[in-house]
Structure formats: C-alpha cells, structure tokens
Amino acid sequence: MSTKPALTVLLASPRGFCAGVDRAIQIVERAIETYGAPVYVRHEIVHNRHVVDRLKALGAVFVEELDQCPEDRPVVFSAHGVPKSVPAAAKARKMLYLDATCPLVSKVHVEAQRHYDAGREIVLIGHAGHPEVVGTMGQLPDGAVALIETVEDARTFQPRDPANVAFVTQTTLSVDDTAEIVDALRARFPGIAAPHKEDICYATTNRQEAVKAIAARADVLLVLGSANSSNSVRLAEVGKRAGAAAYLIDDAGGLDFAWLERARTVGVTAGASAPEVLVQGLLDRLAERFDVSLEEAEVARETVTFKLPRALAS
C-alpha cells in the first residue's frame, strides 16, 4: 500500500501543440534536412524555450532581424507572422526564405487587407509589441490600424468615421476578455465590421475551454509554457478566473511542491507551443511525491493539419 498522499491529476484535453506550431517546427526541421545547417530563423519560431533549444541543437540560428542573416543561407519567418516589409527585404537581397506564419494568422492579415481595400478604419484587438501584432499591423501602411488592448481603449477610441470601422484580433487572446472588448466596440459602433469567422484560433479557444472544464474542480492549475507565450499566459489567467491557484512553469523543474501542500486535485495543461514531453515530465515529477490518479478531461477533438510550403513538401 502506497504511503504517498493521494493526488488526482485532471489532464486538460486538448493541450500542447496546435497545427500551426507543429507546421512551423516541421518547416525548420525540414529546412535543416534539405539545405543543411545553419538555417536562420527570424524571431523564435514559436514561444517555447525547449522547442527553441532543441532546434538550435539541430542547426537553427535564431535572430531578431533579417539584417542579421547572411544572404547565402535560408531564413524562416516565425509562426507569428511578419510585416510585409520583411519578405520584401528578403526578395531584394535574393534570399531563400520560408514563411512559417500560421495559416490562421495569415487569415487575419487577409481580413485586414480586405477592410483596408474597402476603405474601413481598422481596429486590432491585441497586445502591444507581441510579434503577431507587429506582423498584422505591418501588413498595412503606418496609421491604418489602431491597436486596442483593453475595454477602456475601446471606450475612448475615436475613429475618423464611426460608421466605417472594422475589427480584427490577435489569434491567442483570452476569449472572455476579447468578448468584453468587442461588446464595448459594438455598443459604440453598431455597424462595426467583424471577421467572417472569429479570429481567435480554434486551438486557443479549445485550450481555454479545457482549462475552464478542470479549473473549477482543481485546487491548483499547472500550465506548462514559456512566459513570453501569449496563449500560455492566457491559460493561467483563465484558470485563476475559474477559481484555481494557477502557475505558469517552463517544465517540471519549475514546480514548487509548496504550492501543492493542501492540494487534493491538480489540473495540468500545456500551451499551444509546449511539447507533450514536458507534460509527461511533470506527471513523472508529481508521481515522485504523490500517489497519482490520472483523469483526462476532453472538451474537443482536434483534427486540423496544415500543409508545408511547396519547397519542403516532398
């Protein structure tokens, strides 16, 4: 009979890699296989330290700007998307580049362009400085897109023509927070043009729903993901809002057992850029201290896949 205290672990499903992250990582791996090392990557391919470190070991070199890349080596653009000026500069230098932008981020770029072409003033709901936001705003001329981060911003935004406004959103936001901002915009601009289909991606939505399903039953929620990962940070916020003490950790090494002193039920999830091996590592660490019984809470089944760029598809 086990002398360890009992602990129920509620495992959120879906969790971890989404189709866009999976595709982006494959693009870097295939590029290294096809062209040899080094392959340059502009910005972290996805926001996860473990993923980045593994790709570095394979021969990826991560840089922040294109001018840090030599012209004779391939460069990959990250899953978050880039301003139009970046591929234009790569073309001008006759560089071989591979665009790993998530297709669901590209969809937002297309929507923003469509609204701009229709003469609408565009509002982007998102977080200032996030590479996805920088990339989306960089699809259009300076000043064409106004960034709104909060409900207060939505209440004070002054468009040139209140009857001719459209909104798009970052794909990795809190579903609930974004809904509040959209409600505030609609209250002021009833005719505001909305995306055909919600911009917050299926993976972000599903992972937040899975957290809601377990957080109400959990004393503590552990979210695996890096601190610069927007969707991972949002998962911890959603867990807190649902009543759990929530902690964002990079891996099992970030776990402080003091958090679990009075816990009987712990929820575990992983952000969309966190590999499943980190989840297994955390479960193994919990099993060192507790008699763990595992329960998977599935709210959706994901079957989405995205094709690789033609140059790597063979």
CATH of the domain at 65: 3.40.50.11270
Is residue 130 domain-resident?
yes
Single-letter amino acid code for the residue at 219: D
Which one of 42, 70, 102 terminates a domain?
102
In the chain, which stretches have pLDDT less than 70? 1-2, 314
* Digit-coded pLDDT (tens) for 90-138: 999 999 999 999 999 999 999 999 999 999 999 999 999 999 999 999 9
CB distance 172 to 208 below 8 Å = no
Q: What span, in angstroms and rounded, lies between the C-alpha atoms of 20 and 38?
A: 23
Does a structural domain hold residue 171? yes
| Tokens read off for 240 | 């807190």
Confidence (pLDDT) at 198: 85
Query: Model confidence over 36-75: pLDDT tens digits?
Result: 999 999 999 999 999 999 999 999 999 999 999 999 999 9
The owner of tokens 């505001």 is 192
Of 72, 102, 132, the last residue of a domain is: 102
Domain range spanning residue 36? Answer: 19-102
pLDDT of residue 293: 97
What confidence score (pLDDT) does residue 314 get? Answer: 63
**Number of Cα atoms under 13 Å in the Cβ half of residue 292:** 19
Only one residue has tokens 């996030």, namely: 130
In a domain, 260, yes or no: yes
Cα–Cα distance for residue pair 21/14, rounded to 1 Å: 14
| Same domain? 23 vs 12 | no
Encoded tokens for 238? 């959603």
Return the active site residues. Answer: 132
Cis peptide before 5 (omega within 30 of 0): no
Amino acid making up residue 118: A
pLDDT at position 197 is 83
Angle at which helices 19-35 and 49-58 cross, to 10°: 10
pLDDT for 2 equals: 67
Q: Are 176 and 251 members of one domain?
A: no
Same domain (yes/no): 84, 47: yes
Quick one: how far is CA 128 from the chain centroid?
15
Nearest by Cα to 172 from 244, 110, 234, 226: 234
The reported pLDDT for the residue numbered 1 is 61
235 found inside a domain: yes
Contact 109, 136 (CB under 8 A): yes
Q: Which residue has the tokens 């259009």?
A: 140
Measured CA angle at 227 (ends 124, 167), to 5 deg: 10
* Inter-residue contact 223 to 247 (CB < 8 Å): yes
Domain count, the chain: 3
3-state secondary structure of 167: strand
pLDDT value for 3? 87
Decide if 237 is inside a domain. yes
CA distance 84 to 46: 19
Tell me the pTM: 0.94
Flag whether 255 is in a domain.
yes
